[in-house]
Chains A and B, each alone.
Chain A
Amino acid sequence: MTGWFAVASANIAAAATPGALQLPNFDAIASKAAQTVDISLDTSLLGIAAGFMDSSKPDDAAVKEIIAGLKGVYVRSYTFNGDFQYPETDIDSVRKQLSAPGWQRLVAVHNSPDHSNVDIYICMVQGRASGLAIIASHPREFTIVNIVGSVDLQKLHQLQGKFGIPQMQLPDDKAAGNK
């Protein structure tokens, strides 16, 4: 009873925070998935993680700077051995939340040949980014990312190539490379 109340309270609190999404329970999907990433970091856990970042190391300092303004980081990513083994309804329930006021779609890309879709949303409150949501789907994979708090994509971009974070070929890099 207490556990149920705690979970319900956490969900209400998460839903009330601007930029926070109420992610559905993906347990049924997780049981079918070959690979699962399930990350839920609230403010207190982000604080603990920041405490274990060594500010004297540039990589750690950069991550620490990024998470300093965050209130929560939630990632659900599932990889399957077969095509379309996940129900679209679960993704649609998240998409519906992104039609609420404040959320704006930044990018919606759909690649027909390999059926890859990536939608990037940002939540703006009083002219400031207070949340980021990414929904990426592929026949054998789907990922939902929700970052709550002031998100700085430029700072995230600076992490490329560190800790296994892929090197992003953004236009700025190309321009810098040409100089």
Chain B
Amino acid sequence: MSNELNDRLRAALRPVDPGESFTQGVLARIASEPARVPAAAHRAMRMLELRWLSGALLAVVATGFLVAHQWRAQHAQQGQEARRQVIEALRVTSQKLDLAYRIVKDKEHSGA
């Protein structure tokens, strides 16, 4: 009895070749499914992306501030220089008008 059971079990559990189509089916399914990334690795990648984005954003904002600051400084320098030139031009003009007046006045005195 025990030998018979043993033989039947052996027969039922004997290795059977599944066939070429089964192997190809399994291989095709493996190839078609996207590679699964472990959840921890996925989170790490997201964190890396976020860090990169925030870094880039910070760089853009900092560059913007720097450019605005430089433009303001350059504009202020140009304005102060223009102001200085206006005053210098008025000083020279006034000086020459004064010189003309003094010469006229001297001539009036010498003629009188």
A residues near B (Cβ < 8 Å) are: 37, 39, 41, 45-46, 48-49, 51-53, 63, 66-67, 73, 75, 77, 107, 109-111, 116, 118, 120, 132, 134, 136, 143, 145, 147, 153, 156, 159-160, 163-170
Closest to A44 in B: B82
| Interface pair B96/A134, CB less than 8 Å apart | yes
- The CA of A118 and the CA of B88, in the complex, are separated in Å by 19
> Judging by beta carbons under 8 Å apart, are B83 and A52 in contact?
yes
Pairwise interchain contact B93-A107, C-beta atoms closer than 8 A:
no
Interface string of B84-110 (1 = CB under 8 A from A): 011111111111111111111111000
Q: Is B70 an interface residue (CB 8 A)?
A: no
Residues of B within 8 A of A167 (CB): 98
Please state if B98 and A63 are interface contacts (CB–CB under 8 Å).
no
Q: Does B63 contact A (CB under 8 A)?
A: no
Residues in B with CB closer than 8 Å to A153 are 97
User: In the assembly, what is the distance between CA of A168 and CA of B88, in Å?
Assistant: 16
Please pick, from B75, B93, B106, the residue contacting A134 in the complex, using a CB distance under 8 A.
B93
Asked whether B79 lies within 8 Å of A51 as measured between CB atoms, the reply is: yes
Does B94 contact A165, Cβ atoms closer than 8 Å?
A: yes
Rounded to whole angstroms, the CA-CA distance of A166 and B96 in the bound complex is 10
Q: How many angstroms between the C-alpha atoms of A67 and B87 in the bound complex?
A: 10
- A143 contacts B92, C-beta separation under 8 Å: yes
Residues of B within 8 Å of A45, CB to CB, are 82, 85
Taking a contact as CB atoms closer than 8 A, the residue among A73, A118, A166 that contacts B100 in the complex is A118
Contact A75 B89 (CB under 8 A): yes
B82 touches A46 (CB 8 A): yes
**Which residue of chain B is the closest to A163 with respect to CB atoms?**
B87
Known: A52-B82, A168-B101. A39 touches B88 (CB 8 A): yes
Q: Contact check, B94 vs A109: say whether CB atoms are below 8 A apart.
A: no
Whether, in the assembled complex, B54 has its beta carbon less than 8 Å from a beta carbon of chain A, the answer is no
Residues of chain A lying within 8 A (CB to CB) of residue B89: 39, 41, 73, 75, 145, 147
Q: Which of A52, A165, A170 contacts B90 (CB 8 A)?
A: A165
Give me 10 A-to-B residue pairs in the complex whose CB atoms sit less than 8 angstroms apart, sorted by A's number. A46-B86, A48-B75, A52-B82, A75-B92, A111-B107, A120-B97, A153-B97, A163-B90, A164-B91, A165-B95
